[in-house]
Each structure stands twice: as C-alpha cells, then as structure tokens.
Chains A and B, each alone.
Chain A
Amino acid sequence: MAMAIIFKAVNYTYQPNTPFEQQALENISAEIPTGSYTALIGHTGSGKSTFLQHLNGLLRPTSGVIHVGKQIITPETKNKQLGELRKHVGIVFQFPEAQLFEETVIKDIAFAPKNFGKTEEEAETIARRMAQQVGLDDELLSKSPFELSGGQMRRVAIAGILAMEPEILVLDEPTAGLDPQGRLEIMEMFKRLKEEQNLTVVLVTHQMDDVAKYADNVIVLEKGKQIASGTPSEIFAQPNWLVEHHLALPKAGEFALEFEKKTGYKFATLPLTEVSLARQIASLLHGGGVHHG
C-alpha cells in the first residue's frame, strides 16, 4: 500500500490565544515519499519533535492538512479516527525503554498486536518473530525487561513498535545513549528492516554521518519552517549555507574540503562517507581524471 506522507500548509501553535502561545510549525508543505529513508534535521528548537508528533496524530495541525496514505488529518479530525493511522505509523521515541512495563519481554512485545485485536497466540507469534528481527536471544524472552542491559531494553522497545507491523517507522534519535557498537548495530538493523519489509523510515537525528550513510531524502527545519529538502548530496552541497543555518557537514565532507584546500585537488562530487572519500582519494591517486603530470 502506498504510504506517502504529505504536509500541506501545516501550522501548529502551542497554547493558542494565551500568553504562552508559541508557533512551532509554520506553513510546512513537505513530502515523505513511500519507501524513502527520510532524515529530519534541524538545530535545537527547530520543530522536529512537533513535526514528528503529527505523523501519527499525537498532535493535530492548528491549520492545514496532512495525508498519511489514505488517511487525512485536519484540525477537525477526531481521536477515534486516528486508531487506524496508529496501526500504520510506529514511532520509536527517544529512550523508548522508559515505556517498558510488562512482566516479561515477550509480553511487552506482544502488547501492541494484542491491543490491536490479535489473539494471545497470534500476538505471541508476532512477538517472537520481532524479537528475532531485532536480535534478541530466545532465552531473554521470558525474563523481565528490567533485568536487561540498556541496549537490550532498547531492542525490546523497538520490537514492541515493530510488532504493530507498521508501514512507516519513525525514529527519534533512536541510538541516543547507546555505545558506539550498539549504535552501529541498531542503525544497521533499521537499514535491514527497511529493505526486508519495504518500510518508509523517518529518522530524526543530529548525526550528519548517519544522514549521509542511510538517508536518501532530507528535510531541514529551522524555527518551525522548512528551509530545504532534497537528497543528502543536494543538502550538503553548499557548506556556507550549512554554516549559516548551524548545521554540520558529515565528517567525511569536512575532511574532503580541508583536503581540497590544502592540496588544490578537486573531488568530482563532495564525498559524504568514509567509503566514498577513500575511493575518491584512491582514484585521484591512481590518476583518475584530474591527474596532472
């Protein structure tokens, strides 16, 4: 099923008509294509979290329209109408392990499918499959989630979201607090899940290296407005623009610029990952195109 997300002229104001009124989203028109891996980036306070909460109707726009697949969310949409939407959009919030509550890991993962009408048995089958998908050993399933390590708890929480079998997976800094090994494993896991299950992924992150490595589409927010969208190459093409908007290049891009400045060599396209940087250096070194001699 096509599950593109389209924002049309969306505004969101916290506590309207009070002294605390604050406009968090301003006239956002954006598209997250079906099957894309979209990174949502922006400086502190840019409105990323508010944007995110519109994706499954936790917040409704103050004005404007959001399409998620066939579902339409407007300011008038009632909570009752949002149940269906929430089956399709799974959000992994920051520190999702804080929401674990069941006696055992398997019960925790099975909670959502049961809640959405599956039988106990069906829910447990789904839960076992999801546990396997996120790399949790069978022996952990009967344990209390609170006996597990931080990284394992994170996996249980993610499996719980996946058990809803969403078509859109929204990740809000999903690796915050994990060690580098855990971070890499979780990011690679999302990449695999996206490919295997043909998910649409929306990733909120500050890690520009992850944007370059995993995303194919980027939306940049600043003070509640969308200031750019495009592929990572397009977004990272203008270093000066990034600086003006308090955004960083991926480390490989930064390194590439310094290399160009020092050596006078020019890369065909600005490398954004270590892999691409190393390849381009090798190609320059072996006389690929720019060799002068």
Chain B
Amino acid sequence: MDIVEIKNLTFKYPQQEVQNFNNFNLKIKKGEWLAIIGHNGSGKSTLVRLIDGLLAPESGEITVSGIKLTPESVWDVRSKIGMVFQNPDNQFVGANVEDDVAFGLENAAIPREEMLIRVRQALERVGMWEFADHEPVRLSGGQKQRVALAGIIALKPEIIILDEATSMLDPEGRQSVLEIIRELNQVEHLTVISITHDIDEASNAQRVVVLDDGKIVQDDIPAKIFSHGASLVKIGLEPPFSEKLKEELIKQEIKVPDEYLTKEGMVDWLWQLFSKQ
C-alpha cells in the first residue's frame, strides 16, 4: 500500500519564474525508508514541505495515508506526519525539555495522565529524560535535536520526515538518532522519509531517490546508487570513504576494482593485493 502518493504535481515559489516541480510523480510505500538526495536547491526540502502541506501546489494531487491533501484536510494530514528539521534552534517552544515535548500533545488534546506517560517514554527513548527539567537554551544542538525527535515520537505519527535532521549532530549523536529511527521503522513500521547528504543515513534506506532540478533522476537501492563513486558529490551525496580512497590509490598508480566496495570489502581487496606480493 502506498502511504504517500504524489500525482502530476506542479509547483513554483511566488517570486520565481521557473517551475520547481512540473508534472512530478512519486509513490512511497507504507513502512518504507526512503532517502531523498540531491544537491542544495534540487527541490528536496520543497518536496517534503508540499507533502506536509506547508506549501501548496499549483496543481496536482497529494494523498497521505488515504487522505487527499486539501486546505480542509491539512491538519488531518499533518497529524500523520512528524517532521524534524535541520536546525534544532528553530523548533523549540517549551520553557523546558519536558514542556517542549508536551506541547504537541497538549495541542492534540491528549489527557494529562497519558501525556505524562508519553512524554517520559519519548524522552527515555532518545536518552534525554535526565534533562527533562532543563531549559532548551542551555542544551547543545545535538541534545536539542533529540528533544525535537522525542516531541514527534510522543505524537505517534505514521510517517517521520527527517529534513537533514542529523546533519548537525556529532557522530555519536547521529548514530543514536539513526538507531532510534531504525527501531521506529523496523519494529513499529513507521514510514521514514529522510533528506540527507550523509552516506550512513542513506545506507539505512531501502530506496534512494535522487532529485535534480525537481526531477527524479534516479530511483534505486542504496548499493546501486553508491557505485557511482566520486561523482556522487555532484548529486549531493558525500562519496563513501572506500570510493575516495580508490581515487587516491589510482593517483599512486595502483589498479583498483570498478565495482562499489564497502569499507570491509575494500580491506579484503587490499589484503588480497598484499597477499599476492
């Protein structure tokens, strides 16, 4: 079943002359983890804002979880979607961490008793419960982002959209957020749409869509996309380390294999090369 269906979407920003999307189509399966990649300005963020009804299309149809997106249905659609943005500073409303997570639940008129339970569960899940009474201003960017994620988990959406949500986290923070997302995707079958430039995040996805100029230029499994090696940087993805190393080895006049190798694969290949000596 498709949880998101976009049909013949056309959109442009008011001041712009060219269309950002022209007759654009995309289907996202329920429970799927879809990574959307593309360089800055390729239309990634615009696309997810259209799905969430933050922007309105000129024409075309967007259906989310069986609801056709209209000005009347936009709040129903949004209740299905949790969105984590890139900059954690722009998404804090509460006076402290606990209040911040509770804010969305209050809006959704969840009874207080259940609210307290959900807030605690969500904060424990992201490892921020011990900070429940901290003021947001005092938290670092990574901590804020985990709180933002807790605020979404508490609302139990069907779809989580990550708009470069891990790009400001330290490596450990990024891993812990991805771990949470993996659980939500695999155990609770939440649909995940992640916009990212990060190869680790993209490799979690079952499917990668590459956007350029508002068009889907590739739609494939991660390993296929990653085999493009160094040219990945042009489509907005940091090339895997193994591909960067290959390039440097070529400069050292060492012959390297063409196909995509993971880090482990690369070590194995080098081991064989050395064994032949």
Chain A residues close to B by CB (< 8 Å): 14, 20, 22, 43-46, 48-49, 94-95, 147, 149-151, 173, 176-182, 184, 206, 208, 246, 248, 251-252, 255, 258-259, 262-263, 265, 274-275, 277-279, 281-282, 284-285, 291, 293
Q: Which residue of chain B is the closest to A278 with respect to CB atoms?
A: B248
B224 within 8 A of A: no
Q: Which of B155-200 contact A (CB under 8 A)?
A: 164, 167-173, 197
Residues of B within 8 A of A43 (CB): 170, 172
Q: How far is the CA of A282 from the CA of B267 in the complex (A)?
A: 14
| Nearest-Cβ distance from residue A171 to partner chain B, whole angstroms | 14
B143 within 8 A of A: yes
Q: How far is the CA of A282 from the CA of B253 in the complex (A)?
A: 8
A-B contact pairs, 17 of them (CB 8 A): A14-B138, A20-B138, A43-B172, A44-B173, A151-B41, A176-B86, A177-B87, A180-B236, A184-B233, A252-B241, A255-B263, A255-B267, A258-B267, A259-B271, A262-B267, A282-B253, A282-B254
B97-119 to A contact mask, C-beta < 8 Å, 1/0: 00000000000000000000000
Q: Is the CB of B267 within 8 A of A180?
A: no
| Nearest-Cβ distance from residue A157 to partner chain B, whole angstroms | 14
Chain A CB count within 10 A is highest, among B86, B236, B249, for B249
Contact of A176 among B138, B168, B254 (CB under 8 A): B168
B229-246 to A contact mask, C-beta < 8 Å, 1/0: 000111011110100110
Residues of A within 8 A of B197 (CB): 179-180
Q: Is the CB of A44 within 8 A of B142?
A: yes
Residues of A within 8 A of B245 (CB): 252, 255, 274, 277-278
Q: How far is the CA of A95 from the CA of B141 in the complex (A)?
A: 12
Known contacts A149-B40, A248-B171, A274-B244; A282 and B236 CB within 8 A of each other = no
Q: Is the CB of A177 within 8 A of B164?
A: yes
B270 within 8 A of A: yes
Contact of A49 among B15, B140, B233, B273 (CB under 8 A): B140
Q: How far is the CA of A278 from the CA of B242 in the complex (A)?
A: 11
Q: Which residue of chain B is the closest to A291 with respect to CB atoms?
A: B277
Q: Is the CB of A285 within 8 A of B274?
A: yes
Q: Is the CB of A20 within 8 A of B135?
A: yes
Q: Which residue of chain A is the closest to B86 with respect to CB atoms?
A: A177
Q: Is the CB of B270 within 8 A of A182?
A: no
Task: Give 11 A-B pairs besides A45-B142, A177-B168, A181-B236 with Cβ atoms closer than 8 angstroms.
Answer: A149-B41, A180-B197, A182-B39, A206-B170, A246-B172, A259-B270, A263-B271, A274-B244, A279-B248, A281-B249, A281-B252
Known contacts A45-B140, A255-B241, A274-B244; A179 and B267 CB within 8 A of each other = no
Q: How far is the CA of A180 from the CA of B238 in the complex (A)?
A: 5
B266 within 8 A of A: yes
Known contacts A179-B197, A281-B252; A22 and B87 CB within 8 A of each other = no
Q: Is the CB of B39 within 8 A of A181?
A: yes
Q: Is the CB of B233 within 8 A of A180?
A: yes
Q: Which of B198-243 contact A (CB under 8 A)?
A: 232-234, 236-239, 241
Q: Is the CB of B234 within 8 A of A181?
A: yes
B139 within 8 A of A: yes
Q: How far is the CA of A106 from the CA of B33 in the complex (A)?
A: 43
Known contacts A95-B87, A151-B40, A181-B233; A176 and B267 CB within 8 A of each other = no
Q: Is the CB of A182 within 8 A of B40?
A: yes
Q: Is the CB of B15 within 8 A of A94?
A: no
Q: Which residue of chain A is the closest to B248 with respect to CB atoms?
A: A278
Residues of A within 8 A of B171 (CB): 206, 208, 248
Q: Which residue of chain B is the closest to A173 with respect to CB atoms?
A: B168
Residues of B within 8 A of A49 (CB): 140
